[in-house]
Structure 1
Amino acid sequence: MIGVTSGMAQTPKTPPALFDRALLHARQQRARALGEVTFLLDRVAEDMSDRLAAVMREFHTPADLWTPGEGLAALRTRLPSIQRIPLDAAGSEKLPFAPESVDLVVSALALQFVNDLPGVLAQVRRALKPDGLLLAAMIGGDSLTELRQAFAAAESECEGGVSPRVAPFADLRDIGALLQRAGFALPVTDVDRVVVRYDDAFALMQDLRRMGAANVLIERRRSLSRRATLLRMAEIYAERFADADGRIRATFDIIWLSAWAPHASQQQPLKPGSAKASLAEAVKKAGKE
């Protein structure tokens, strides 16, 4: 919103930066060197292929935005002309698209690390040709809630305070509202909840590192965690979130979002007052039957 103070227009504030995207790039590169853990990305890639197959049209100028590694390589048989936009070393959020230059933008497990998600969605909207499609999957919702709670409790006990350990995630309603705000038509969102079991919390944290998804928050603790804090975190995790066999649960919510650049051919909502029969008349009629 633009306000006015003392006769001078106020420009919208830039959202505060939460993520060190240059560090994210470095950690993704390191994960590839160590041997990536890709089970979530593989699941998303398969689901994305199925969702695109259900769209009865061809795409001639598709682009893949910031998907880690070769995560969507399987789509290249269907979309041989797909343009890959990798995350660069600087972590820039400025997209290299001319207005109305692409007809499809896909992105897998990347948008959760964006500092200015409304701005990026607005850039995608401008880049899409009329009736172009955005299809993306991002981590959100209650993802890693167990790890977040266990760390918070352990740090409160052992260190007398809590530091940011797990990134804040957007929920389903937030994403739907942002798509509308960016000017998209026909927005649709849904959640795929994946619960993964591990021997202990340290095995989960090792997987996160090999996903390139370890803590990249700007306000993260810069010193190494105390051994006592880590051990207590693992104990609390096991106490609160273990199954009968002793293995722990980790929740990942994958938020799917799809939306279209507006076009005259798309179904339009009815204008207020244009309905041929009122709700009151329908209720009255039903009561007489």
Structure 2
Amino acid sequence: MRPGLPQIHAARRALATVASASSFPLPPAAPYIVFDRAVKQLQKDRAALANGGDSSRTVDYVRNEIAERMLERLLDVRRKFSSILDVGSGSGHFAKLLEPETTDKVVMLDMSEHSLNRDGDEHFEVPVKRKHADEERLLEVVGRESQEAVVSCLSMHWVNDLPGLLVQIRESLKPDGMLLGALFGGETLFELRTALQLAETEREGGISPHVSPMTDTRDVSNLLGRAGFTLLTVDIDEVQVGYPSMWELLDDLRDMGESNAVIGRRHILHRDTLTAAAAIYQALHGKEDGSIPATFQVIYFIAWKPSPTQPKPLERGTGEKNLQEIL
């Protein structure tokens, strides 16, 4: 049955209530709200402030590793940019790796003001400008066709309207501008997800979302193409980290600001359910030395805004050699 006007008005009031709880209102006409952005902002702020920022610095290892792998892809481009916009920059894991030979300056943009300012300018090799803003409303902060390059290191998996953000990034880029990004793929933390689901089913007779839904490689390629990008390069990689037990993994995710922020999540898990999940995790995935692995699947992508100066494929039939002869 299709909803009537009273139900539609009620749904709109509910969304307005969620939006009013955040310093960043929800984007207009968002297609589907999966994540509570107010909660995510609070999680990132708390992580950046804990122990004067030392707690979050201790767990920078995942973002730092992926930022280094992103930098390798940027260096393959062999172009110097006058400025690079780092969307969802956090404390600058990627920006800290940039050198004057790559860019003249970097603009860091993040929804968490405390993450933006966690580390001082002395940690960066190039001049830094910080913008406290929600990446979901990018074009309200940066102008159209104002950027030569946009990067995003592990923030897009918390965006409600990913297609909309990609369109905004394309609009913000100059012709032949580059988008370089990395986001967590659908197999990220599959060990934790299965352990929690099995434990909750066995102890409580049902399951609720504890690990956020993520995209896969085909989705990213399709979304970039639909957003109007060209010359796409998408590849996938994994980072696997060992932990003494599930408890240390959960502590590190909290200190990373990567705790669950799905709307409709359970705020409390019974202790016996968590204990059962830890035992299941160990039984299914434990190593001989007693440690457990946690897999972070990462999707890397490079895309370009169309430009008349970009190379284009030759028309069909203009080749000078027959492919069968070469083979």
Tell me how far apart the structure 1 counterparts of residues 157 and 134 of structure 2 sit (CA, whole Å).
Answer: 13
- Unaligned regions of 5+ residues in structure 2, if any? 1-28, 114-132
Offset of 1:104 from its aligned partner?
A: 0.4
Q: How does 1:91-170 map to 2 (within 5 A)?
A: 91=134, 93-95=136-138, 96-170=141-215
Output the TM-score relative to the length of structure 2. 0.77
Q: Distance in 2 between matches of 1:245 and 1:86?
A: 39
> Looking at both structures, which has the greater relative contact order when contacts are Cα pairs under 8 Å and sequence separation is at least 6?
1
Count of aligned residue pairs for this structure pair: 270
Q: Give the distance between the partners of 1:106 and 1:28, measured in 2 at CA.
A: 19
Structure 1, gaps ≥5 residues long: 1-12
Task: Please name the residue that 1:57 is paired with.
Answer: 79
- Could you say which residue in structure 2 is the equivalent of 1:183? 228
1:40 matched to 2:62:
yes
Give percent identity, aligned residues only: 39
Q: Is contact 2:189-2:294 (8 Å) kept?
A: yes
Q: 1:74 and 1:92, CA in 2 relative to 1: closer, same or farther beyond 3 A?
A: closer
Following the alignment from structure 1 to structure 2, what is the Cα–Cα distance between the partners of residues 262 and 99? 14
Shift of 1:47: 2.0
Supply the distance in 1 between the matched residues of 2:282 and 2:197 (Cα, whole angstroms): 14
For residues 228-249 of structure 1, what are the alpha-carbon distances to aligned partners after superposition, in whole Å with 9 as ceiling and x for unaligned?
Answer: 1000000110010111122111
User: Among 311, 317, 321, which residue is 1:275 paired with?
Assistant: 317
Are the aligned partners of 1:142 and 1:252 in contact in 2 as well (CA < 8 Å)? yes
C-alpha displacement of 1:30 = 1.0
More helix by share: 2
1:231-270 alignment, distance < 5 Å: 231-270=275-314
TM-score if structure 1 supplies the norm length?
A: 0.87
Query: Retained in 2: the 8 A contact 1:62–1:83?
Result: yes
Task: Report the AA paired with residue 106 of structure 2.
Answer: I
Q: Deviations over 1:62-86 (max 9, x none)?
A: 2110121232242453334211111
Q: Aligned Cα RMSD in Å?
A: 2.2
Q: In the superposition, relative to structure 1, how do residues 194 and 163 fare at CA in structure 2: closer, same or farther (>3 Å)? A: same
Say whether the 8 Å CA contact 2:45–2:112 is kept in structure 1. Answer: no
Instruction: Report what 1:216 is aligned to.
Output: 261
Please report how far the alpha carbon of residue 201 of structure 1 lies from its aligned counterpart in structure 2 after TM superposition. 0.6
Structure 1 contact 140–253 (Cα < 8 Å) conserved: yes
Q: Which amino acid letter does the alignment assign opposite residue 45 of structure 1?
A: A
Per-residue deviation at 1:49?
Answer: 2.4
